[in-house]
Structure 1
């Protein structure tokens, strides 16, 4: 009878240990999923540096039944108001400025430089040595 009780206690302890391990793994999976969902939402919001997500307190965030982070858009909107430099500048389609043409920089020959410009360029080159 004591062998049966020891076996039952051993199985009970193993079951409790397995349940604790399962809980730890589930918490880790949820945390990773929350981070992934926040990254996706941050990219949609225009965040240029995802390291800014480290500023958020993610302990209270929970997943919905659909696997989304509850209130993620509102959370990132608050972050965008508080720390706008983490997000890209909104592009306006009404801008009249044209981007510069992609041209290689024009090199100047020593014959095109004045004597003072030549001396300054020579000094820069000699300092590099």
Structure 2
């Protein structure tokens, strides 16, 4: 089952190492792992885990906590899916704005202008709908 989930993540665009780290942490009993634990479990270099976790934290899949007793970072599954949707829905309006701004540079009746304006409106609406849906469904993750 684990390999199937990894393959699905790879098909959706994650690098294989990042997918392996992602799945290992998701399937951990308490939803927590240190970089050293990930390195040991996956039999990979600390640098590989670091690159993967930096990406996954940046994308909102996990959060990083500092363990003051062991003086190391702990990666935690929290509202990972919710935060990932929020991050994505914040990035989509940037694309919408870019499409709308690009449309303004073409003549009023230009097919390119009309197409870009439609793309901008579409992306803006999808972004708003994603946020509303994530907020509405967040309780399912609790």
The TM-score bracket by the shorter chain reads: under 0.3
Higher helix content, 1 or 2:
2
Compute the TM-score of the two structures, normalised by the length of structure 2. Answer: 0.23
Higher strand content, 1 or 2:
2
Compute the TM-score of the two structures, normalised by the length of structure 1. Answer: 0.25
Q: Which of structures 1 and 2 has the bigger CA Rg? A: 1
